[in-house]
Amino acid sequence: GWKVSMKSGSLSYILPYNRLPVQLMSQVRVYTSNGQKKDLGSEDTNGSAHGETLHKVEAGRQDTTNAGQKQSSPKQPIQVKVKAVLKKREYGPKYTQNNFITGVRAINEFCLKSSDLDQLRKIKRRSPHDDTETFTVYLRSDVEAKSLEVWGSPEALARERKRRKEAEIKYRENLFRNQRLLWEYKEFFGNTKPRSSTASMFFKGPGKVVMVAICINGLNFFFKLLAWVYTGSASMFSEAIHSLADTCNQALLALGISQSARTPDPSHPYGFTNMRYIASLISGVGIFMMGAGLSWYHGIMGLLHPHPVESLLWAYCILAGSLVSEGATLLVAINEIRRSARAKGLSFYQYAVVQSRDPSTNVVLLEDAAAVLSVAVAATCMGLTSLTGNPYYDSVGSLGVGTLLGTVSAFLIYTNTEALLGRSIEPEQLQRLTELLESDPVVRAIHDVKATDMGMSKVRFKAEVDFDGRVVTRSYLEKQDIEQLLQEIQQVKTLEELEAFMLKHGENIVDTLGAEVDRLEKDLKQRNPDVRHVDLEIL
């Protein structure tokens, strides 16, 4: 039975009832960062008196219960190890004294000038950007002190911040007016800038395919419209509507291509590459609403209210010309997709259908393929109508063209929606990225791997990485003078010196870990050009 409780200082012991009296060594030393130590549980008046009382009670109980029995073992004291503990430093809920900030942030947030920063301490740190190795930062506490020195008080600084914020809001409200003013003074400044990259995009690649398709489909719409007015054929009306829908949709694709070339801004840090998928999605909806919908409507009306069809000679001629022009545009789109697929090492089917790498070219490809097939359907139904004199065949042709357009639009809507939702990359490519990380000696394991296709051959890679601390530390030691480091260790005699030694090299090891993360990210981007954004989180 654990019945007797003994206390000494700040420690409490519960001893069994049938044990012999023991000696308690209960002295604990607490070390602070300044080398001072405290003795807790030392011999004080209250502790000793309490111990004597408990000792007498224990001795009385031993005489009553164990009378006549001999002690079988000598008294052995219980030893308590002394543990040196560094006093924990309390930082509070908000601690920013050791924060570094850049010069731009110091100027914007603390309302300083560049000349004010010249008087502050400059610290070189590892740069987060790929184009520079180091950059200059400032200690936040120094910047805050300088801002109070310049503005006199926190209230004055707050008023200046409020004034600048109001000026920024006013500038944004007048941004459209400012752009108009710049446009009006364009002739005064002179047109000295080179041709923009946006305009050059329409002379090669997907932009060239889209522009060719716009021109050809626009001409096809004009001539098909004339043929429908002359003949009154429902199939020719469907073809005219089809060409108009293709022209409008490809104009949307051109807009998406130009918008996707915009440079990233603070509101869109990953750029505007998804604008191509958005334009393709709207194009698919437009084909369904404008092309398939009107074709179905005209075909149904032709079945309900049939009327004789006039001479179809001109319609056949225009359909033949449309077949040639649509076929030429289709060949341009096929050649562009083959070239791009060959550059990526993919098959035509994988590039165009499975992965849908280039939405603009895919839309042109599908629209022109549907146009060629719809021309064949329309010509067949019109031929049956001219042979039999039955206008129902012509209406059925209109329904067939509408069904074909509906199928194409459904496929475009599905593929572009999947791309906008952020689908994962192919498992083989993800496996290569994973193996590249795991083969590095500094990595123990990786978890929670996510690789998202952002569109237009841009991949964002994210993973939780378990780093090997020993390898990181060895990498740091390989860059140090070991003999000098050994001398520093031998000179450590007090707690203050030990703390300073550990803080110095601990910060350097953390910097080494950051450099290893940068190296891994750089290797991923170099070996996989599609990977544009890498987020490696330390586990």
- pLDDT tens per residue across span 501-513: 999 999 999 999 9
Q: Predicted confidence band at 354 (pLDDT cuts at 50, 70, 90)?
A: low
Section 207-220 average pLDDT: 84
pLDDT of residue 86: 66
Q: Is residue 441's pLDDT more than 70? A: yes
Per-residue pLDDT for 10 more than 90? no
Both structure tokens of 317:
């001629």
What pLDDT is recorded for position 473?
93
Query: In Å, how far are 249, 333, 412, 418 from 287, measured between CA atoms?
Result: 7, 18, 10, 18
Instruction: Yes or no: say if 506 and 513 are a contact pair by the CB < 8 Å rule.
Output: no
pLDDT of residue 444: 92
Architecture in CATH of 198-421: Up-down Bundle (1.20)
User: Who contacts 137 (Cβ-Cβ below 8 Å, separation ≥6)?
Assistant: 100, 101, 102, 103, 122, 123, 124, 125
Which amino acid appears at position 320 of this protein?
A
Q: What is the CATH number of domain 100-189?
A: 3.90.530
Q: Positive or negative CA dihedral for 202, 208, 209, 214?
A: positive
pLDDT score of 73? 52
Average pLDDT over residues 166-170: 85
Helix (H, G, I), strand (E, B) or coil at 305: coil
SS3 labels along 443-498:
EEEEEEEEEEECCCCCEEEEEEEEECHHHHHHHHHCCCCHHHHHHHHHCCCCHHHH
Q: How far apart are the first and last CA of the chain?
A: 48
d(CA 294, CA 220) in angstroms, rounded, equals: 18
List the one residue out of 255, 261, 475, 280 whose CA is nearest residue 361. 280
- Sorted by where each begins, the domain ranges of the chain are 100-189, 198-421, 427-538
Give mean pLDDT, residues 472-494: 91
Query: What pLDDT score was predicted for residue 305?
Result: 82
pLDDT for position 463: 93
User: Which pLDDT score is estimated for 198?
Assistant: 57
Residue bearing the bigger pLDDT, 463 or 170:
463
**pTM for the complete prediction?**
0.61
Q: Is the pLDDT of residue 124 over 80?
A: yes
Minimum mean pLDDT range among 122-126, 177-181, 371-375? 177-181
pLDDT at 3 over 50: no
pLDDT value at residue 62? 47
Looking at residue 505, its pLDDT comes to: 92
* Segment among 51-60, 240-249, 311-320, 409-418 with least mean pLDDT: 51-60
Q: What is the pLDDT of residues 87-107, one digit of tens each?
A: 777 777 777 778 888 888 888
Burial of 367 (0-12, 13-18, 19+ CB in 10 A): buried
Average pLDDT score, the chain: 77
Mean pLDDT value of segment 521-528: 90
**Residue 495 and residue 232 in contact, taking contact as beta carbons nearer than 8 Å:** no
Contacts with 374 (C-beta within 8 Å, 6 or more apart), sequence order: 238, 239, 242, 400, 401, 404, 405
Average pLDDT over residues 3-32: 44
Mean pLDDT is highest, among 54-68, 208-222, 273-287, 435-449, for 435-449
| Burial tier of 484 (Cβ tally within 10 Å: 0-12, 13-18, 19+) | exposed
CB atoms under 10 Å from CB of 213, counted, come to 32
Residue 309 token pair: 């069809």
Mean pLDDT within 340-346: 78
**What is 427-538's CATH superfamily?**
Cation efflux protein, cytoplasmic domain (3.30.70.1350)
Q: Which residues contact 378 (CB under 8 A, 6 or more apart)?
A: 235, 236, 238, 239, 319, 397, 398, 401
- Residue 46 confidence class, pLDDT cut points 50, 70, 90: very low
Question: What pLDDT, on the 0 to 100 scale, is given for residue 128?
Answer: 75
In whole angstroms, how far apart are CA 110 and each of 104, 151, 271?
10, 10, 29
Separation of alpha carbons 142 and 101, rounded Å? 10
Instruction: Tell me the HSE value of 471 on the side-chain side, using a 13 A CA sphere.
Output: 10
Maximum C-alpha span of the chain: 136
Integer Cα distance of 253 and 361 in angstroms: 9
Between 238 and 101, the higher pLDDT residue? 101
Q: What is the average pLDDT across 57-85?
A: 53
Predicted local confidence at residue 524, as pLDDT: 92
Q: Which pLDDT does position 477 carry in this prediction?
A: 92
Residue 501's pLDDT is what?
A: 92
Tokens of 6: 């003994």
